[in-house]
Amino acid sequence: MLRTATANRKAAVRKPDHVDIKPQRMGFEFGDQVPRYWLDNSPFLSHMMNALSVLFPQGEQFFVDSVRYYRDQITDPALKKEVAGFIGQEAMHSLEHIAMNQHVRDQDMPVEDMEHHLRILLDGFGKRLPKRHQLAITCALEHMTAMMADMLLERDDVREDMHDTMRPLWVWHAIEETEHKAVTYDVFQEVGGTYLERSFYQILSTALLGVMTTYFTARMMWNDKRGFSLTDVGKGMWRMWGTDGVFSSLIPTWMEYFKPGFHPWEHDNSELIARFKAQVAEHIAPQYRNGNRRTLQ
């Protein structure tokens, strides 16, 4: 089965050779220079993005664990190298978002409670599933992070509404999500993952992500009553789900995942990596400019 999967992978769409999946610690710092409402001066939008950040450390550890389980079964040397890069990049994402989440915690947000509830979901449900089903969940969520990353890099209006102190984190994260967007999918294909598995868990994962993000955002809004207004929420919801909304515009890309022959690199957006990577490199903290290879273990 693995030999067949490897042969099929070689004949199918592949990651462009010029895309290098290499971890890079950034050392972002968050303090008083970051405004409380850092996205379009909107409490709703800022708390929603803060909610996503709270999801990342545990979520990315789940991703790493689901891929690492199959690492010794991978026979394709190129994919083995990509898996190592993926694990390293996800480690860096976790570390940087832990720093951001501390900043959110310092604003008296109930981060510990939210992390506890996420742990219940992952430990009580996600990690009890068969290993290949956990990998299917990872594939689905990686597709969603990749399409959001592509949107962020494509849309000037979204990036420009981020405060200068926050924009580098999200652009850097988007670049690396684009670089490794096919790794989990290729591993899933290599170990015999089925169309039914990935389709089912795409629907389930989307629903769970929506529920958790909504819950975390609501908790933060409730905790920050002084920033709450129906006008702000309405404008934020329209920005996300209205005509050409940030999320509504992604529905066609989300649907592409259900094509039987789908592959993440069918949409080659690697030019976005080259466009933004030099800009992001300017924000690497001095102590990390020679690289940092710490990974999640």
Per-residue pLDDT tens, the chain, 297 aa: give them. 444 444 444 446 889 999 999 999 999 999 889 999 999 999 999 999 999 999 999 999 999 999 999 999 999 999 999 999 999 999 999 999 999 999 999 999 999 999 999 999 999 999 999 999 999 999 999 999 999 999 999 999 999 999 999 999 999 999 999 999 999 999 999 999 999 999 999 999 999 999 999 999 999 999 999 889 999 999 999 999 999 999 999 999 999 999 999 999 999 999 999 999 999 999 999 999 886 544 443
pLDDT for the residue 191: 96
Q: How many domains does the chain have?
A: 1
Where does residue 263 rank: exposed (0-12), middle (13-18), buried (19+ CB within 10 A)? Answer: middle
pLDDT for the residue 5: 44
Domain carrying residue 228: 38-285
Which two structure tokens, joined as six digits, stand for 148?
């959001």
Phi-psi region of 243 (alpha: psi -120 to 50; beta: other; left: phi over 0): beta
pLDDT for the residue 13: 84
Rounded to a whole number of angstroms, the distance between the first and last alpha carbons of the chain is 28
pTM: 0.93
Indicate whether 137 belongs to any domain: yes
pLDDT for the residue 14: 85
pLDDT for the residue 292: 56
**CB contact burial 28-60 (16+ within 10 A = b; e otherwise):** bebeeebeebbbbebbbbbbbbbbbbbbbbbbb
Indicate whether 176 belongs to any domain: yes
Contacts 24+ apart (CB under 8 A), 112-116: 113/219, 114/51, 114/54, 114/215, 114/216, 114/219, 115/54, 115/58
Which two structure tokens, joined as six digits, stand for 293?
């290879």
| C-alpha–C-alpha distance, residues 293 and 22, integer Å | 9
Indicate whether 31 belongs to any domain: no
Indicate whether 252 belongs to any domain: yes
Indicate whether 16 belongs to any domain: no
Indicate whether 14 belongs to any domain: no
Which two structure tokens, joined as six digits, stand for 189?
């294909």
| C-alpha–C-alpha distance, residues 58 and 69, integer Å | 17
Indicate whether 63 belongs to any domain: yes
pLDDT for the residue 12: 65
| C-alpha–C-alpha distance, residues 234 and 237, integer Å | 5
Number of alpha carbons in the 13 Å side-chain half-sphere of residue 219:
22
pLDDT for the residue 290: 81
